């Protein structure tokens, strides 16, 4: 069954057609990579799916139900989580607090519980903390121990990216959207994260859609690759097919770093 | 390497500028009439009046600052010595000369058209009641001596400085708060101490001032290692070493002790100090409420007084026998209170709904507008049949629980009520801050869009903050109405909103302890928007001092007196990111280990 079905998705910003009628199906347990040159509309694609922008036209179905027009928080509640290309953490909250915020949509205690410290409240707080620690442990000891209590802005760049994924995981998504998860990481960190993206599916059972510029990462983990250019899907298929596709090579030509045609 | 410097090693320009600035500050204080007015208040008989204290600290501060070098990291500061004293003295002397020139100017040219207080009174105060010639000399000597004293404070070792500072500070505080200290001595049933300490004509006697100073010095010198902090640590150690059930029993004992203190406090404070405490308490409640909106949820609300008004008018409209709208049934306070709470929450949501789409400055301006609108509505002819227009509503009955009446005029009784409200709102604020709701507000404050993307319904979260803030303000308003016994539109001016905001900013946005300190310092000592504080003399200059404090805090300590962790993290972001950069180097190292 498709987890995500998108049909004819269109979005324009002023005169710029960021998305010009995109169709996409993502099946449960798949890892799909979205690639394309800068300004192709990849991030806009995520923004529209997660409800941060409403599409001009088109249909988005998550697990069979339309999510067009819902607020981002409702969509998160339904089971879609994301990370941001430019890493958007809550910089002054601690690492643990950042992840605890991610538990918001899976918990329910309000003012009353907090004020009277009811049993249910205390239990839920404990559950939130335990779950947050569990999610942080996905990255080994990197975000555990003393780091838990550090403000997020004090983290290294790679750790910020990890924390963002952990925060998204805390929302218990079934569909995880990663926007350039390895951008800014050194080669070693990239290799490590590539492995973890595999375990996101294998261990945690998420379906993953990932925007990525690093072709080695794309080649290693993707079941399927989708190529966008000027808001249009110009190719789709497994990595080797797409990498040798004429249209794709053309789309990437003229870019100073011509990664797309390599390997 | 530390270097000894020659006695003339200083920038003439800097010294002249510092002296001129000191002179400007002194002349300003004199020209606005503060010096003259404060001179009526004797602090130490035939030695010091409040007026001379108000100008005397200036040469000390500037002398201290001019003699102290800015320390540059990596370079040892130069050795302190006579050169510093000379610099301090020169700054003081320049200040004295310029101030004398100002006095002379005021005497020969009529400046009263601009500064009405620059008449002969000011001139005489600036020349210590002497002729212009000898008086000027005195002023120069006065400023020079204080400048040298300021520099000397810099030259002495930190220990000595702290002993002298605390000793003189204590003496001056005891002198300034003479009336309040007398109340306290009365409360402790040791009125005799007051008559020994203070002269019958007001102020400490020279002997008692010297004795107090000497006593504090002795305590500081010989009492080392027995300070309150040491005792606290010892008690804490003792506490943690006990078994859980003993701890539980002890917590009962502590609770009982706390309750006993609560019962005794207003009796010791006496009537007028209780009155001040009640005012502080009400503003503290308002501060904590506004802190939820501004400090926790990050929405700058400048119309907060509107909710205070809703609470006060709500109670007045429902409980006063003279309520303008007689068709509204007259209710008991405790029946009316839940209704007022619900109405306040509703108004909070009503005002919140249109404004939460806005951010930052826009939100501030719009809430300011709403605050003004509500005040004008209470004043308007349109609402007059219900809220009484400019005449307001009078004869609001006081609160009573069973046979116990908390009459408004009896501030000792009102204290009990306000203390409970303060404690309740404290607990509420604290518990909310460390809960799911509090975290959602923190996330909202940090990055609204991301908070929404992480599953937080930002609309509900913001409205919740508005509603809770409104309810807290309304509770304060309800008690206010019942205490004062009447409500008028003039009690709910913009100034009140601003004062509450200043309280939480000076105390430390987001920090509950900080807000308590802010309320005590600003409302208790200086006074609220209308009510006087402990320093009654400051009444007329209150807003001026508020402004000075606010500017100083914004420049030097924007995180507030007792900052919250979050806020100081935020404001010292850049320093910490530097550390983070170093940390990052460590991170890479660690990466090697893990992946190797
Ligand atoms: N909020 C916005 N307002 C106006 N224009 C936008 C907005 N968001 C995106 N665009 C435009 O839409 C186009 C697609 O942008 P998008 O960020 O989706 O590209 P991308 O594929 O993610 O590129 P990159 O690889 O650089 O991240 C760009 O031309 C961009 O300028
Ligand atoms: Mg992008």
For the stretch A66-87, pLDDT in tens is: 999 999 999 999 999 999 999 9
- Please give the structure tokens belonging to residue B271: 């009537």
Sheet holding A80-82, edge to edge: A80-82, A175-179, A207-211, A31-35, A224-229, A232-237
B125-150 mean pLDDT: 91
**Range from A164-178, B30-44, B204-218, B521-535 carrying the lowest mean pLDDT:** B521-535
The alpha carbon of A95 and the centre of ligand 1 are apart by a number of angstroms equal to: 29
Q: Is the predicted pLDDT of residue B592 greater than 60, yes or no? A: no
**C-alpha to C-alpha distances, B259 to A138, B189, B235, B236, B577, nearest whole angstrom:** 49, 21, 20, 20, 46
* ipTM given for this complex: 0.91
Confidence of residue B585 (pLDDT cuts 50, 70, 90): very low
pLDDT tens digit sequence for A171-188: 999 999 999 999 889 999
**Range from A25-39, A116-130, B129-143, B580-594 carrying the lowest mean pLDDT:** B580-594
Q: Select the residue from B453, B465, B593, B594 to test the A interface by mutation, using most A Cβ atoms within 10 A.
A: B453
Q: pTM here?
A: 0.88
Look at residue B302 in the predicted model and tell me its pLDDT: 92
Q: Which of A73, A151, A156 lies closest to B457 in CB terms?
A: A73
Look at residue A85 in the predicted model and tell me its pLDDT: 93
Look at residue B587 in the predicted model and tell me its pLDDT: 45
Look at residue A206 in the predicted model and tell me its pLDDT: 94
Q: Is the predicted pLDDT of residue B83 greater than 90, yes or no? A: no
Look at residue B593 in the predicted model and tell me its pLDDT: 40
User: What b/e string do you get for B545-570 counting C-beta neighbours within 10 Å, with b at 16 or more?
Assistant: bbeebbeebeeeebbbbebbebbbbb
Q: Which residue of A has its CA nearest to B439?
A: A101
Residues having CB within 6 Å of any atom of ligand 1: A 13, 16, 18, 36, 38-44, 85
Confidence of residue B588 (pLDDT cuts 50, 70, 90): very low
Look at residue B590 in the predicted model and tell me its pLDDT: 44
**Range from A138-152, B28-42, B577-591 carrying the lowest mean pLDDT:** B577-591
B507-536 mean pLDDT: 86
Integer Cα distance of A234 and A229 in angstroms: 7
Q: Which residue of B has its CA nearest to A195?
A: B595
Q: Is the predicted pLDDT of residue A59 greater than 90, yes or no? A: yes
A23-47 mean pLDDT: 93
With beta carbons under 8 A apart, name residues in chain B contacting A157: 584
pLDDT tens digit sequence for B245-300: 887 888 888 889 989 988 888 888 888 889 899 999 999 999 999 999 999 999 99
In chain A, residues under CATH classification 3.40.50.300 are: 1-79+173-263
Instruction: Give the residue among B261, B58, B53 at the shortest CA–CA distance from B177.
Output: B53
A236-247 mean pLDDT: 86
- Please give the structure tokens belonging to residue B245: 């059930």
Quick check: B85 and B151 in contact, CB under 8 A?
A: yes
Q: Is the predicted pLDDT of residue B586 greater than 70, yes or no? A: no
The mean of the pLDDT values for chain B is: 86
Given this structure, which CATH class describes domain B256-563? mainly alpha
Look at residue B74 in the predicted model and tell me its pLDDT: 65
**C-alpha to C-alpha distances, A152 to A163, B318, B451, B588, nearest whole angstrom:** 8, 50, 15, 17
Ligand closest to the CA atom of residue A47: 1
- Mind telling me how many Å the CA of A231 is from chain B's nearest CA? 23
pLDDT tens digit sequence for B221-241: 887 767 777 778 887 787 777
The mean of the pLDDT values for chain A is: 90
**C-alpha to C-alpha distances, B55 to A135, A144, B544, nearest whole angstrom:** 61, 56, 15
CATH architecture of the domain covering A1-79+173-263: 3-Layer(aba) Sandwich (3.40)
- Please give the structure tokens belonging to residue A181: 């998860």
Q: What percent of chain B has pLDDT over 70?
A: 92
- How far from chain centre, in Å, is Cα B369? 26
Confidence of residue B559 (pLDDT cuts 50, 70, 90): confident
Look at residue A53 in the predicted model and tell me its pLDDT: 94
Contact criterion met (CB < 8 Å) for A156 and B443:
no
More confident residue, B328 or A4: A4
Q: Is the predicted pLDDT of residue B584 greater than 50, yes or no? A: no
In chain B, residues under CATH classification 1.10.3470 are: 256-563
B465-479 mean pLDDT: 96
Q: What percent of chain B has pLDDT over 90?
A: 41
């Amino acid at each position: 069954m498709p987890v995500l079905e998108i049909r004819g998705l269109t979005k324009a910003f002023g005169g710029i057609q960021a998305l010009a009628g995109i169709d996409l199906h993502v099946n449960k347990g798949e890892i799909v990579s979205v690639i394309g040159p800068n300004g192709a509309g990849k991030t806009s694609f995520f923004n529209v799916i997660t409800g941060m922008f409403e599409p001009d036209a088109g249909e988005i179905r998550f697990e069979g139900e339309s999510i067009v027009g819902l607020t981002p928080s409702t969509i998160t509640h339904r089971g879609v989580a994301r990370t941001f290309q430019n890493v958007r953490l809550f910089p002054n909250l601690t690492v643990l607090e950042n992840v605890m915020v991610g538990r918001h949509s899976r918990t329910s205690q309000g003012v009353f519980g907090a004020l009277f410290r009811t049993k249910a409240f205390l239990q839920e707080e404990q559950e939130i903390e335990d779950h947050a620690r569990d999610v942080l442990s996905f990255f080994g000891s990197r975000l555990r121990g003393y780091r838990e209590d550090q403000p997020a802005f004090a983290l290294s760049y790679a750790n910020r990216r990890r924390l963002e994924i952990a925060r998204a995981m805390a929302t218990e998504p079934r569909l995880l959207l990663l926007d350039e998860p390895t951008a800014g990481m050194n080669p070693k960190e990239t290799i490590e994260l590539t492995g973890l993206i595999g375990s996101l599916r294998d261990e945690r059972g998420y379906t993953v859609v990932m925007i990525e510029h690093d072709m080695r990462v794309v080649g290693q983990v993707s079941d399927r690759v989708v190529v966008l250019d000027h808001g249009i899907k110009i190719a789709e298929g497994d990595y080797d097919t797409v990498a040798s596709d004429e249209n794709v090579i053309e789309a990437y030509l003229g870019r100073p770093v011509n990664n797309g045609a390599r390997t | 390497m530390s270097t000894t410097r020659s006695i003339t090693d200083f920038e003439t320009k800097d010294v002249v500028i510092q002296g001129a600035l000191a002179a400007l500050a002194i002349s300003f204080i004199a020209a606005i009439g503060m010096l003259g007015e404060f001179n009526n208040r004797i602090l130490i008989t035939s030695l010091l009046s409040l007026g001379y204290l108000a100008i005397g600290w200036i040469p000390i501060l500037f002398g201290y600052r001019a003699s102290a070098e800015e320390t540059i990291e990596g370079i040892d500061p130069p050795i302190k010595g006579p050169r510093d004293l000379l610099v301090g003295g020169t700054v003081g002397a320049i200040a004295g000369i310029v101030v004398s020139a100002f006095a002379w100017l005021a005497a020969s040219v009529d400046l009263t058209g601009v500064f009405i207080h620059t008449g002969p009174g000011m001139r005489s105060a600036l020349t210590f009641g002497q002729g212009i010639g000898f008086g000027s000399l005195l002023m120069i000597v006065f400023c020079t001596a204080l400048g040298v004293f300021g520099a000397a404070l810099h030259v002495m070792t930190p220990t000595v400085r702290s002993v002298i500072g605390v000793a003189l500070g204590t003496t001056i505080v005891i002198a300034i708060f003479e009336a309040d200290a007398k109340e306290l001595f009365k409360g402790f049933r040791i009125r005799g101490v007051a008559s020994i300490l203070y002269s019958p004509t007001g102020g400490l006697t020279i002997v008692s001032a010297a004795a107090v100073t000497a006593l504090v010095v002795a305590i500081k010198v010989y009492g080392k290692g027995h300070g309150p902090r040491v005792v606290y640590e010892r008690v804490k150690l003792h506490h943690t070493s006990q078994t859980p059930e003993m701890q539980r029993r002890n917590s009962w004992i502590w609770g009982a002790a706390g309750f006993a203190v609560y019962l005794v406090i207003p009796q010791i404070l006496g009537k007028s100090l209780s009155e001040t405490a009640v005012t502080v308490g009400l503003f503290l409640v308002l501060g904590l409420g506004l802190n939820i909106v501004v400090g926790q949820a990050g929405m700058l609300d400048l119309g907060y007084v509107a909710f205070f008004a809703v609470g006060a008018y709500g109670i007045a409209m429902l409980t006063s026998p003279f309520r303008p709208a007689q068709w509204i049934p007259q209710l008991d306070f405790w029946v009316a209170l839940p209704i007022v709470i619900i109405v306040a929450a509703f108004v909070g949501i009503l005002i919140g709904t249109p404004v939460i789409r806005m951010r930052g400055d826009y939100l501030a301006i719009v809430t300011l507008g709403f605050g003004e609108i509500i005040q004008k509505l209470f004043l308007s002819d349109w609402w007059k049949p219900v809220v009484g227009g400019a005449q307001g509503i009078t004869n609001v009955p006081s609160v009573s629980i069973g046979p116990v009446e908390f009459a408004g005029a009896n501030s000792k009784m009102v204290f009990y009520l306000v203390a409970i409200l303060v404690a309740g709102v404290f607990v509420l604020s604290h518990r909310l801050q460390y809960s799911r709701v509090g975290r959602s507000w923190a996330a909202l404050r940090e990055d609204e869009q991301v908070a929404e993307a992480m599953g937080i319904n930002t609309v509900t979260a913001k409205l919740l903050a508005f509603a809770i803030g409104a309810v807290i303000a309304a509770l304060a308003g309800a008690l206010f109405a019942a205490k004062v016994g009447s409500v008028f539109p003039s009690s709910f001016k913009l100034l009140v909103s601003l004062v509450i905001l200043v309280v939480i900013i000076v105390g430390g946005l987001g920090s509950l302890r900080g807000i308590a300190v802010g309320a005590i310092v600003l409302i208790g000592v200086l006074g609220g928007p209308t009510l006087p504080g402990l320093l009654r003399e400051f009444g007329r200059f209150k807003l001026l001092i508020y402004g000075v404090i606010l500017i100083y805090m914004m420049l030097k300590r924007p995180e507030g007196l007792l900052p919250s962790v979050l806020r100081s993290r935020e404001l010292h972001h850049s320093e910490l990111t530097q550390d983070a950069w170093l940390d990052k180097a460590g991170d890479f190292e660690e990466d090697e280990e893990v992946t190797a």
